[in-house]
Amino acid sequence: MILKIQKKYKTGISHLQTEIKMKMNNKGFTLVEVIVVAVIVAVLAAVAIPLYNGYINDSRLNVAENIGGSVASACGATVQQNLVVPEGTHTGPTAIAFPSVTGETNNIQVPDDFEVIITATTAQCTYDPGGKNLQSTLFAFTE
């Protein structure tokens, strides 16, 4: 009878040791779990990246609109004072100086990668690195 108990006890311990070893070997993720996570991340990126680029382009177009409007406003004030408008193409980073009757100059900053085109009657700001071709409204400042 003592032999039977010892035998049973030894078998129980080896069974526990095997179970512990199996639990220790099951650390980590299976290949299927990793692939599923990678597919989910790829789908999210495929949706998010174009949306992000759209937001960036919209903000750059808003900047171009603001610069174009500011330049047209400054050109209109310059023309009303019978002063010369700084015609031409101004590429950023630069400041466009508009003269005034008081002798002071009104400077409008043009950021890097933006371009302001001023003619005798219109002003427009564009942003075109990498073929984006974002153009502001063509602002007319004289009638």
Listed by start position, the domains of the chain span 36-140
Is residue 36 scored above 90 in pLDDT?
A: yes
Local confidence band at 46 (pLDDT 50, 70, 90 cut-offs): very high
Per-residue pLDDT, 78: 87
Per-residue pLDDT, 2: 54
Tokens 């078998």 map to which residue?
A: 11
Is residue 7 scored above 80 in pLDDT?
A: no
Is residue 29 scored above 80 in pLDDT?
A: yes
Range 115-137 average pLDDT: 85
Residue 88 pairs in a beta bridge with 118
Residue 126 · residue 134 · CB < 8 Å: yes
